[in-house]
């Protein structure tokens, strides 16, 4: 019987009956939230997981459940990675390449959201530098390790719809910085990266996709604050009820990790390659105004021309050609 997966499915629901023994997976950002649950569900089904974290002691404490639930040969190895430092990114990538063991799946999960004005160690706007450029360099540098038929899953967000995307001032050098706009643009960049990476590597069977995990309470929202978040959710719920729809409900962390593992392991590569997914299915392109919690991906986030332009601009910014 075919399983019906959707918004309330958990990562374990998605992977039920799936044997990942012999599969090796890289997951960035395993010191909290979605990264920990993604790693746990994969290791519980036999995958050998390599998890990255800026703070290794914090990650070691947070990933106790990953090691506890690992089964059928599943395991967890932690490696240091600070996505806000290209020195750290390159060192991590070089160490993985030197090690030489291939990956069947790479999950670009780590990220920051709505940060105060700031710059990475390389001078990039914090969210662009951490969410996009750090992953851009890491994934491209370890691309030779991705096995033929492997996949890349980039964790993006429905927030990409909340601000138009422009290549003109990615680092907010000429325009006023606004935290949520910067986050939205970094998430659009995540999607566009997946689109272009997929185009470049599909010929050898390596497919890339972007996913929206849903709206979940994790450490990611710490710069917004619980009070501001709760106020925004109350307004959204009131609007939903006024339209005769059920009020908003947070996704749990296990539900939030579901689409990531669905796109990385369960869905067919042809179905998800170069696409944007949410609630365990591929999203429709919707350019009209919709509720912040509605489904849909903006056409500009999947535009191959914009994706190619962003790739070249990203190469200029990081000083590397891939």
Task: Return the CATH number at 64.
Answer: 3.40.50.720
41, two tokens: 């569900």
Q: Helix (H, G, I), strand (E, B), or coil: what is residue 150?
A: strand
- Asked whether 47 and 103 are in contact (CB, 8 A), the reply is no
Integer angstrom CA distances of residue 94 from 79, 89, 308, 311, 318 = 12, 9, 25, 21, 16
Total count of domains within the chain: 1
**Is 269 part of a structural domain of the chain?**
yes
Per-residue pLDDT reduced to its tens digit, 210-234: 999 998 865 554 555 566 666 666 6
Q: Name the pTM for this structure.
A: 0.92
27 with 42: CB under 8 angstroms?
yes
Length of the chain: 322
Closest CA to 195 of 51, 95, 61, 310: 310
Nearest-angstrom CA–CA distance, 109 and 157? 11
276 is catalytic: no
Asked, for residue 4, whether it belongs to a domain, the answer is: no
pLDDT band per the 50, 70, 90 thresholds, residue 15: very high
- The distance of Cα 146 from the centroid of its chain, to the nearest Å, equals 17
Is position 218 within any domain? yes
242 is a domain residue: no
Token output for 312: 């070249």
Euclidean distance between CA atoms 280 and 262, whole angstroms: 6
What pLDDT, on a 0 to 100 scale, did the predictor assign at position 225? 55
Share of the chain above pLDDT 70, in %: 89
Which one, of 191, 216, 300, lies nearest residue 7 by Cα? 216
Among the residue ranges 16-25, 127-136, 240-249, 305-314, the one predicted with the least confidence is: 240-249
Please compute the mean of the pLDDT values over residues 288-297 and round it to a whole number.
84
Which domain, by its residues, includes 137? Answer: 11-225+251-318
Checking if the pLDDT of 50 tops 50, the result is yes
Set 177, 183, 276, 300: catalytic member? 183
Residue 5 domain flag = no
Beta bridge partners of 155: 211
Q: What pLDDT does 233 receive?
A: 61
pLDDT-derived band of residue 1, with 50, 70 and 90 as boundaries?
A: very low
Closest CA to 156 of 232, 97, 84, 212: 212
> Is residue 235 in a domain?
no
Per-residue confidence at 4, pLDDT binned at 50, 70, 90?
Answer: confident
321, with CB counted inside 10 A (0-12, 13-18, 19+), is: exposed
Flag whether 230 is in a domain.
no
In a domain, 301, yes or no: yes
Which helix (H) or strand (E) segment holds residue 38: the answer is helix 33-44
CA dist., res. 210 & res. 150, Å (int): 15
Nearest to 102 by CA among 22, 211, 216: 22
């Amino acid at each position: 019987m075919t399983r019906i997966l959707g918004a309330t499915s958990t990562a374990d629901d998605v992977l039920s009956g799936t044997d990942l023994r012999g599969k090796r997976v890289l997951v960035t950002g395993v010191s909290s939230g979605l990264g920990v649950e993604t790693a746990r569900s994969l290791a519980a089904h036999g995958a050998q997981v390599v998890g990255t974290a800026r703070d290794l002691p914090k990650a070691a404490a947070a990933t106790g459940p990953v090691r506890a639930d690992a089964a059928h040969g599943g395991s967890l190895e932690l490696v240091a990675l600070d996505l806000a430092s290209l020195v750290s990114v390159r060192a991590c990538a070089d160490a993985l390449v030197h090690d030489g063991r291939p990956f069947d799946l790479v999950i670009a999960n780590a990220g920051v959201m709505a940060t105060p004005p700031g710059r990475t160690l390389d001078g990039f706007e914090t969210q662009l530098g951490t969410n996009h450029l750090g992953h851009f360099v890491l994934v491209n540098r370890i691309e030779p390790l991705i096995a033929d038929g492997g996949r890349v899953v980039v964790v993006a967000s429905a927030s990409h719809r909340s601000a138009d995307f422009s290549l003109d001032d990615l680092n907010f050098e000429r325009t006023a910085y606004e935290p949520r706009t910067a986050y939205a643009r970094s998430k659009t960049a995540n999607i566009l990266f997946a689109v272009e990476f997929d185009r470049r590597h599909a010929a050898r069977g390596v497919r890339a996709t972007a996913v929206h995990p849903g709206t979940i309470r994790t450490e990611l929202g710490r710069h917004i604050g619980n009070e501001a978040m709760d106020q925004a959710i109350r307004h959204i719920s009131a609007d939903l009820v006024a339209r005769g729809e059920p009020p908003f409900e947070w996704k749990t962390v296990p539900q939030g990790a579901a689409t990531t593992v669905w796109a990385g392991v369960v869905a067919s590569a042809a179905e998800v390659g170069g696409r944007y997914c949410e609630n365990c299915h591929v999203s429709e392109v919707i350019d009209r105004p919709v509720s912040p919690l509605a489904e849909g991906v903006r056409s500009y986030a999947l535009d191959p021309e914009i994706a190619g332009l962003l790739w070249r601009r990203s190469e200029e910014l990081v000083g590397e050609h891939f």
